[in-house]
Structures are given as C-alpha cells and as structure tokens.
Structure 1
C-alpha cells in the first residue's frame, strides 16, 4: 500500500474513541483533523494530529496518495450526507473512501479506490457500500439533511433558527439568506449573519444540532497573566487564528460565541470575558478556564454593549488579564451583571 493519510472530521470521532481505534489498527502515515471543534477534541486525545483549518474536500484536493475520510455523524443519515457533500466537491475525477463510524460503514464514493476501501473495511470491520454523489447544492440553494426537530440550525457558526423537519431548505438571493422550509427563524441570528454576509451556500458551513456534546476533561489556566488581549465578535470559528503563546485572554461578544470560545479556551488554558444577553442555543456545553467571567447585559443587547467594551481595549498592547477584568466590571457595573465568575 502507498502512504496512507487519515482525515478525521469533527469532535465525535475523538470523543467516542474512533480516531484512536482506527489509528491503532491502520497505523496511517499521517493524521489530519478538519474542523474547529474537531481540532479541540484532537488536542485532548493526545494523538499526533496535524490541524487543517480548511474543509476536508480542499485538503483532499491538495493531496496525493491514499486518503480516507473518517467521520461520525449525529445520525447515520447525516453522516452519509456529509460524505456525499465532500465527495461532490472533490475534483479531478477522484473518488472518496469514507468511513462513517455512526453505523460502521465504508462508503466508496464516485468510483473511488476499491482496493483501498476493501482493505480498510476488512481491517476495521466495516461493510463497503459503493455509491455515487448526487448532491444538488448550488451557490443559491442548500438542503441540510438529517435534522432533528427543535435543534438549532447554524450557518457559518451562527444560529439562524430551529429545525421543524428532517430537512431544512435555504436559498440565497443577492448575498442574503432566505429560509425556505423546515425552519423556525431566529431573527437576531439572521441579523448577525446578514452583518457578516452569507457566502455561497454550496461552500457555506451549514449544520444542525450541537457542534460538540462532550466536556473537556481538564480546565487549567495556562495563559500568561499579562500579554495580548483578543476580541471575538460573533465569530467563534476564528479563535485558532488568534491563539498565540502571548495571548492572556479573550473578550467575547455573544452567547454562543462565548460558549464556543470558553469551551476551546478551557482546553487551551485561556480565560474569556464573555458579554452575553441570554439567547444561547446550547450548541456546545459551557465550560471555562480559571480566570474567566461571563456577564449579562442588564439592558440592550450584547452587540452594542460588547462593542463599546471592546472599543476601550487597546490593541497590540500588553495588558494584565485580571486587572482588565476588574476594570471592565468596575466601569460597567450598572450595565452588566456577572452570571459566572471563575476568578
């Protein structure tokens, strides 16, 4: 066999032990993880993983050799649909070998490498299903399959509503997102997405349900007491771009942004100061590194108050985190109230 690369997608393959088992059995030459929360879970797993801040299809299109995609969908249906989307984006007439751990299936997409699929499936105990990608997503239309009614629906990490059916259909017109069916809209989420702009729907990150269900095993503070302070405003997926050894803490704006950044910060040992207004959608279990504070605005929205607070923080200056937190709480004592204090 040629050198083998495993691309792991999402946190569940690490949290459920799939990555460790497949690594032990197949002994691949290279392990890559795609996805922000997948990277977070990979760090906790202790495996020697190379992060790729890119969608799996782009990673595959840039590589040669034997490659398998390993995923654990929320349900077998959602896992198969994810594989179909990835397979449909692979260029050059290449197929895809996709291990779906939710039902122990090895999908051989679009006339991929049968020898590789059968070898992998035999080693890890999967059945092989040969299948063709018929994904019909376009820049102006997207179907999100495998939804559970009531769970949040996210586009680019922003909750835009809640599923009311197994399929959510979205469209896009002149750069604006239009919910078509299967969704109860969250107006504030739609406003947030409109503010940053909706990308073409065949390339947008669309998901329903939690982005991770497991809590980190350890929450230690490892960030320096004084250093750079970052601000993340409703863009939690950018967090790994701003994490550096001299980062002392992160000021976050938005409930879900605070929860996601707090969760990742807990793994990395970085505290956050979250400005929220109580409209969290529970897309990730909340946990925070020591030194973190979460505050609710007393009136108004987290957008306005958060951006006002962010505007008072000097950029590219070294600041001491604990003092900064005390100063914010003192200055805005009549505007925000503490709801979680881990100092």
Structure 2
C-alpha cells in the first residue's frame, strides 16, 4: 500500500510562534518520539489529528487536539472527545500516549487519596535542607489531614548551608544561629511523628535527611532505624504522577509533576494537601478508554477530522485507503467513487478485516 511521505520534523523553536502559524502537516518530536500532525483543510480554527507513524493507520491514530484562543494559558490545549485540557502541546500529546491501564491506575489513585484523607493518623511532612549533597535539615513542618499545622520549626543544621539552597528557601546561616538543633527538637518530633502515617512529596529524600540527623544524634545506625520504623513512610509522587497521566515515551513512564513548591516546608505541606484533596474530589474519566480498531476508525471520522489535507493526498486517497481509516468525513466520496453522507456511510465501506 502506498503511504504518504513522512513530514520533516519541525524544529522546537518553530513551534513557539503559535499554532496559528503552524503548517498543515508536520512532524513534532515530543520526548524524543515523533508524532505526525495532520490538519483538516476545512478547519476554521487550527486543530490537528495526531498519528504515531506516517502510515496514518487506525492503530496509529492518537486523537485530535486544538488550541482555544480564549482559554486561560494553563488550559489552552483541548483534547477532543474527552473533557481534558493542557497547558502545552507537548503535555496534550503525552496525554494521548497513555498506556491502556491508565484509567484503572487513576481510579486506584482517587480511592487512595479519599482513604488517606479519612485516616486520622495522616501527617503531611516536608523538609528544607542545607543542599542536595550531604543534606541536613534547616526546616521541618507537618500538617494533619485538616491542614492544621502540627510542626513548623527552623533548625540549626550545625553545618554550612549551600548558597544555592539559600537562594531557594531564603534560609541563611544567620537565620538559624539561634534556632534549636535537631537533637534538641527530637523529643517533640518523636511525639508528633511516631505511630503516624507520614506522607511526603519525594519521601525517600525527606526520610534520608531525617535518617542522617538520627545517625548523627544517636551515633548508632541501629538506633536510628528503630526510630524510623515507628513511623509509616509513604511517598506521594508516584500516585500524583499517575493521576495526572502524562506519559513520557522517552522514559517509558509517567512524567514527574511538580507540586508548585514555594521552598517553605509549611507551605509545601498545604500544597500537597490541596493536591490530595483535588485528586479525591476528581471524578473517573468515563469517556477516556482505549479504543478498539473499530473505535479508532469511528473516532477518526467523528473527532473533527472532516478532511484530510489535499497537500498530503493531492491525487486523492492512496491505494487501500478504505482499509486503513483515511476515510475522513467530506472526502469519502473519493473512495470507490461513492458519495457518502457522513461517518456512518464511511464506516460501511471499511472491510470487515479492518476491525480485527
């Protein structure tokens, strides 16, 4: 079967000029993986049908995106069919690349968040440190599930604070000179944290910092481990990332989602609580599902892809196009010379093997 030539990849800087200036057919590269973008030639507003490969087969169809000029910047790109919007074209593409089990993963995360917010033992914990290498704590905070501040202490790390860290959290050496040390705070930390479910955004790092402080205090690793085992440590990054569901083809994993950190431990605790609440309040996206081959053909016809650009097929549809889902509404009369009224007629032309 004849297939159209693969459009040349577009340089990233060319996509910064605004979608109203983009070509009718081009290949974008998102997370090192190409995506073929085809714009219907009768579209009054810019929107593109996206495919994994230039063959434009139904199995390669990802979906259709369009920017809305009147939407706020943080929700400009709309994914057709589902009620979903994204800040950038790249994030919208990532949403279309989700694996087949994303909906189930997202539903599990919603259940997890709802149960967490009903757990009276829940504490949300955050630390600010002297830096990323050999870190010591300079601030620790914790809130309960209602947002009540349980802890908020500045700590004298008895170590130098990296200037890069100070530039972020604004805690300098002179700010902690009179502050209590970790050892002095340890009895209060023990009462507040032990026996509780301690949730943190990037928990392994925060737990590592506390472990370093405990090792310095006790000078015996086994004593530090006994203290740590009395808390239930839990990381929020993975469920929050799964819930957002932006798939990185390069990493073959969901893309990390920043929390919007203000580099203040108490503020970050409340930000994580807000995120947890948003997840718990969200609804399952019933319309988002992995389509069968027949479903992809139908969606190609009804997703707003009313015409294949004539620039792609200047001589009409390629041989075998009726097998592959090129049947965009309004251009179907070119197939077998039949005039078709819409997607239902077009679907009847597809041979049965197209749905196997």
TM-score (normalizing by structure 1): 0.21
| Bigger radius of gyration | 2
- Structure whose residues are more often strand by fraction: 1
Normalised to the residue count of structure 2, the TM-score between the two structures is: 0.20
